[in-house]
Structure 1
Amino acid sequence: MPLITFEDNEKIINEFNNTKTCYPDNQTVHQLFEEVVKVYSQDIAVVYKDRQVSYGELNNRANKLASILRSKGIKADSLVGLIVDKSPEMIIGMLAILKAGGSYVPILPEYPIKRIEEILEDSKISLVLSNQLSINSENFLKREFIDLSLVDNYLESTSNVESISQSTDLAYVMYTSGSTGKPKGVMVEHKSIIRLVFNTNYLDLSSRHKILQTGAITFDASTFEIWGALLHGGTLYLIDQDELLNIQKFKERIYQYKITTLWLTSPFFSQILNNDISVFKDLTNLIVGGDTLNIKHVNFIRLNFPSLKIINGYGPTENTTFSTYFHVDKLVNDNVPIGKPISNSTVYILDSTNSLQPIGIPGELCVGGDG
């Protein structure tokens, strides 16, 4: 016998989870990027140290590499390894793989060789893009490499490659440790990424946004940072790990680049707040997540910067970065909720038989939708 009343059932399904908005769900990430290039070709897309890459240049270089990948048999749902540090070449590699029709598998160069090999073996990757060719392992070197640092030497056309992908094809496979500690690949489609950054209710993304990438490419927050900027004509800023972990240097970069939008893990947010709250002085949007937020810290920043939009973003890798959001627009007393589902996502509280619980009754969290 279900505990839930008809009224609660209707409210949960048709009111709480009425999140549908129109977004380009039949297009792919690279198609939308190419549309952005038509409008913002001369504008800066990616900044890394003293390098600035325009949208037009980024697109041209990615097209060259995409032609190479297509000639090597990369097609829809082909997996291509991407072993690279933060750099413009990282973005070029991602775009090229998507344009060729494949999906990228991000791997950090500093991973232990054993973990890299486990991921390559599990995903059956035969082709890897990298500028880290010094990794010494027989199994690792059996795979074909393309050196991303040599992209400019290619003679291929800079024209857009004819798209062979659908919005339901894979865009990336991100490996998490899994509950057993064995790497587990989470498969994400183009449509899921697009639902995250288009016509959504937690943030109004536009060409005005300057986003600093704090997440590693193996962490799903980078999906929001990279495509939130590049699919809207905004600017993506990349910094090295040593600058990210040095709060003074981190603050200098935020000021220098006039960053508007920042994503941080909850522990890093607390660490910064304990050291130097002025880091957040000029920000417009701050998204924090990955762990429970400290109430004192949230209230402290709310009092000091009342115009700053603070979002508690929550969601598993399997649901493409964010499932729910809570706008911290006033002081909180008990805890910071994870809030309501983002656009085109659903959230239900279920009992042990996967039936809806009445409103206010605890249970298991079940997330769904286009993510």
Structure 2
Amino acid sequence: MAPGVHDAVARWARRRPDAPAVRDPARGEELTYGRLWERAGLLAAELARRGVRRGDLVAVPQDRSADLVVTFLGILRSGAAYLPLDALAPVDRLAGIVAESGTRWAVHAPRPDGRWADLASWLPPGVEAFPVPGDGAAAHPVPEPGTEGDDAAYVSFTSGSTGRPKGVVVPHRAVLRLALRPVFCTVDPGDRVASAANPAFDATTFELWNTLTAGGTVVVLPSATDLPFDAWTALLREERIDSMFLTTSLFHTVAREDPGAFASLRTLIVGGEQLDLGAVRRVLAADPPGRLVNGYGPTETTTFAAYFDCTEANLEGLGRVPVGHPLQDTTLHLLGPGLEPVADGESGELCVGGPGVALGYLGRPELTAERFTTLPATGERIYRTGDTGRRLPGGAIELSGRSDRQVKLRGFRIELEEIERAVLATGLADFALVEKVGEGPAASLAAFVLPARDLPAGDLPGQAPDGGADLPRLLDRRLAETLPSYMLPARWLVLDHLPLGSTGKADRTRLLALLTAPPPAPEAAARPAENAPLTAVLGEIWQDVLRADDVRPEHNFLELGGNSILAMQVAARVRQRLGVRLDAGAVLLTDSLGELAGHVADTDPAVTTP
């Protein structure tokens, strides 16, 4: 095994320097292995010139692109580890992550845009930001740091129950365990693998390094929510994608709207949440990919620790899709409270061992000791996932729940306590409880809050301290300053008192029962007469997708629990029912159902309702 990830890539730069390594069809850019290696060397040399040494950490505020691949590889060649930043996160959260990481460098794209256009306004003092070198950059000696398998390759920050995100330190040997001899997804020289994940999401590890250590081509694709649904699925065929990863929620959406959309793929890996058995069977019964794999693994186990091949034969007699069997060089253990093995068929905590286990949490030795431990009987180092499950008669592992309050939402791992702490930190609430409600694409976060007894004057203009309609809106604004968008509750329930159970604690059952009541209708009033038939049709689509009983022209998609995945469903239904190509962004950005109807009418004035 190569000591470093970059060493495994170097083999292909030597063997096939003219073979395509990265392709970005949207920008019309393609890098061969020879050119990728050369540009990564330029960056490694520039990093060394600026003082970066083996074991350092370098922040990467970039979106998916060929430059991002150059940056990651160049940082590894310098002996450092990369810290990908999340463009969905507020700048205060990003600044806190960079400060906690201790890095003094940030490598951005040659022409940063969007969230990254004004790095100087939020990067902590002392952090030097500079672009990845392009063509014509001055050449300097490329360092040879002597990387070893336990050196850090990257740090991935995830939600933390204490209110602070925690950085998972992943070493080179863990990435190579995932990428070399992969039993869950074979990548051959020349294969084309999609790069569609948020760079801060650890699926990127599979997309890039499983491809580049095998001589394949990374194809940078837009997010499925950035294009009309049919255009995105057509792109998979046009770019001749062989393999790709998809979040469970997005898979569920596609399986419902067009179950044959994956027919051109050789391997599709789905992961992030519990996979719906009905969705899998719809895809298998249509025109399935060559291989459909359920992938499971926390960030601490380097993207995937287990896999299950979804075939009709393997699913026969099962009530849910298992997470399956261990990946190559990986061990899975179901353990009791004392870390003793449980009998087959009995429930235990799933623990993962092998070289894929991360080094621990950056600068958090107590938390590392709590989650990373050794088996008393063998001394094997394991990660305690917090997931509970049992071993089925055939040997596959099936999950049943969590031993804590961590949830998965649209592929993102969320500690509910982090959101609750953020709510209380605003000073606007004396109590906060956040829960995940619903399943699949319809899943969302609901928050119950008891307004603070003495709210600061002016925080709720025109409202009494114990309650008004402005509190959720104000909390949304405050939380958006500290939490990424996927951690913001879709629904707020403002309490006038806190229901208590027999133990004196908040009665969670009674609180959750409040969710069955329909959300109050906004005060905006009468149904607009203009576009009334079109509004009615769109309302029916919203009701079906959102599973809402009451949808009115003045209602807002996001306030009813909508999200980007569900917006894709709405756009697909509009195309099927009305023949209008609608972007998912329009569903998310219009203020109301009535406004969306006007947008659809403007897009195609000839549209008629069936």
Q: TM-score, normalised to structure 2's length?
A: 0.55
Distance change in 2, residues 1:348/1:245 (3 Å): farther
Q: Is 1:72 matched with 2:50?
A: yes
Larger radius of gyration between Structure 1 and Structure 2: 2
3-state secondary structure, aligned to 1:171: strand
Q: Is 1:152 matched with 2:135?
A: yes
Report the equivalent of 1:140.
Answer: 124
Q: Which moved more, 1:62-71 or 1:242-251?
A: 242-251
Report the equivalent of 1:343.
Answer: 328
Query: Does structure 1 conserve the Cα–Cα contact (< 8 Å) formed by 2:179 and 2:210?
Result: yes
Deviation at 1:146, TM superposition (A): 1.3
Higher relative contact order (CA 8 A, sep 6+): 1
Aligned AA (2:135): D
Q: Which of the numbers 57, 63, 85 marks the counterpart of 2:41?
A: 63
Query: Does structure 2 conserve the Cα–Cα contact (< 8 Å) formed by 1:311 and 1:326?
Result: yes
CA RMSD of aligned residues (A): 1.8
Query: Does structure 1 conserve the Cα–Cα contact (< 8 Å) formed by 2:9 and 2:213?
Result: yes
Report the equivalent of 2:174.
Answer: 192
Q: Deviations over 1:256-287 (max 9, x none)?
A: 11001011111100111222223212111010
3-state secondary structure, aligned to 2:215: coil
Aligned AA (2:329): N
Report the equivalent of 2:81.
Answer: 103
Query: Does structure 2 conserve the Cα–Cα contact (< 8 Å) formed by 1:197 and 1:205?
Result: no
Query: Does structure 2 conserve the Cα–Cα contact (< 8 Å) formed by 1:214 and 1:244?
Result: no
Q: Which of the numbers 253, 268, 282 marks the counterpart of 1:286?
A: 268
Query: Does structure 1 conserve the Cα–Cα contact (< 8 Å) formed by 2:196 and 2:222?
Result: no
Q: Which of the numbers 326, 343, 346 marks the counterpart of 1:361?
A: 346
3-state secondary structure, aligned to 2:84: strand
Query: Does structure 2 conserve the Cα–Cα contact (< 8 Å) formed by 1:36 and 1:233?
Result: yes
Deviation at 1:73, TM superposition (A): 2.2
3-state secondary structure, aligned to 1:140: coil
Distance in 2 (alpha carbons) for counterparts of 1:352 and 1:259: 44
3-state secondary structure, aligned to 1:263: strand
Distance in 2 (alpha carbons) for counterparts of 1:345 and 1:272: 31
Deviation at 1:200, TM superposition (A): 2.6
Matches within 5 A, 1:1-371: 24=1, 26-48=2-24, 49=26, 50-131=28-109, 132-137=116-121, 139-140=123-124, 142-148=126-132, 150-157=133-140, 161-241=143-223, 246-305=228-287, 308-330=290-312, 332=315, 333-371=318-356
3-state secondary structure, aligned to 2:124: helix
Aligned AA (2:58): V
Q: Deviations over 1:226-250 (max 9, x none)?
A: 1111111101111233665642221
Q: Deviations over 1:89-117 (max 9, x none)?
A: 10111011000000000003442110111
Distance change in 2, residues 1:109/1:362 (3 Å): closer
3-state secondary structure, aligned to 1:84: coil
Query: Does structure 1 conserve the Cα–Cα contact (< 8 Å) formed by 2:333 and 2:341?
Result: yes
Deviation at 1:77, TM superposition (A): 1.5
Identity value in percent:
30
Distance in 1 (alpha carbons) for counterparts of 2:22 and 2:142: 19
Deviation at 1:330, TM superposition (A): 1.8
Distance in 2 (alpha carbons) for counterparts of 1:181 and 1:278: 42
Deviation at 1:319, TM superposition (A): 0.4
Distance in 2 (alpha carbons) for counterparts of 1:353 and 1:138: 45
Q: Gapped runs of 5+ residues in structure 2? A: 110-115, 357-610
Query: Does structure 2 conserve the Cα–Cα contact (< 8 Å) formed by 1:221 and 1:321?
Result: yes
Deviation at 1:70, TM superposition (A): 1.2
Report the equivalent of 2:568.
Answer: none
Distance in 1 (alpha carbons) for counterparts of 2:98 and 2:145: 26
Deviation at 1:215, TM superposition (A): 1.3
3-state secondary structure, aligned to 1:321: coil
Q: Deviations over 1:199-257 (max 9, x none)?
A: 13222222142111121111111100111111111011112336656422211220111
Q: Which moved more, 1:236-245 or 1:192-201?
A: 236-245
Deviation at 1:151, TM superposition (A): 2.7
Aligned AA (2:18): Q
